[in-house]
């Protein structure tokens, strides 16, 4: 039996990015262009971000599940997940923008928030049941016999 939090962990990371990255984008544009009306567009940006990032969220769940099954220390797992999130985000923005380099700047806030979320949330390694040797099985049987009230 294996239990893991790969689904919950990936979902928290994804939701954190989908909610907070648009605020970083709006903050940046407000500082650069004080007359910008981008703050009023935050709900639209969040909605578009949700829709377009669903495939990346599903891929992130799959990658986190596979990486979390490995015997790497948690820090190494999170480093690998960070690089995967970086490439998934860059790939998504490359696909959406059709390769326009100007649009790739919008990926930076998402990447920053994703990596913060990856390191912020706890990744619980799966619990694996140890295989019992034949000797331990025999000991277990003998313990069960001795524990029985009916000798």
**Is residue 98 left, alpha or beta, with left meaning phi > 0 and alpha meaning psi from -120 to 50?**
left
Could you give the CA distance from residue 151 to residue 149 in angstroms, rounded to a whole number? 6
DSSP 70: S
Q: Which of 31-35, 88-92, 130-134, 143-147 has the lowest mean pLDDT?
A: 130-134
Domain ranges for the chain, please list them: 6-147
Q: Taking residues 81-88, what's their average pLDDT?
A: 96
Q: Which two tokens stand for residue 50?
A: 């949700």
Q: Which residue has the tokens 């912020």?
A: 120
The pLDDT tens digits of the residues spanning 4-16 come to 788 999 999 999 9
Write down the residue that tokens 């326009």 correspond to.
100
What tens digit of pLDDT does each residue of 14-72 get? 999 999 998 888 888 788 887 767 777 888 888 888 899 999 999 999 999 999 999 89
Q: What do you get for the CA distance between the two ends of the chain, in Å?
A: 33
Task: Note the pLDDT tens digit of each residue in 96-135.
Answer: 888 777 778 889 999 999 999 999 999 998 876 555 566 6
Read off the tokens for 8. 């919950």
Q: How does residue 1 score in pLDDT terms, banded at 50, 70 and 90?
A: very low
Q: Which helix (H) or strand (E) holds 91?
A: helix 74-97
């Amino acid at each position: 039996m294996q239990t893991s939090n790969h689904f919950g962990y990936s979902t928290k990371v994804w939701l954190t990015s989908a909610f907070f990255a648009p605020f970083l984008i709006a903050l940046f544009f407000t500082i650069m262009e004080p007359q910008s009306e981008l703050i009023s567009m935050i709900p639209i940006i969040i909605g578009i971000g949700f829709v377009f990032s669903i495939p990346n969220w599903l891929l992130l769940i799959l990658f986190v599940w596979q990486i979390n099954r490995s015997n790497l220390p948690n820090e190494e797992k999170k480093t690998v997940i960070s690089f995967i999130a970086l490439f998934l985000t860059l790939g998504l923005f490359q696909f959406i923008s059709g390769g326009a380099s100007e649009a790739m700047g919008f990926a930076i806030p998402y990447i920053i928030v994703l990596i913060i979320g990856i390191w912020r949330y706890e990744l619980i390694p799966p619990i694996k049941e140890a295989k019992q040797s034949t000797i331990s099985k025999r000991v277990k049987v003998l313990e069960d016999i001795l524990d029985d009230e009916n000798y």
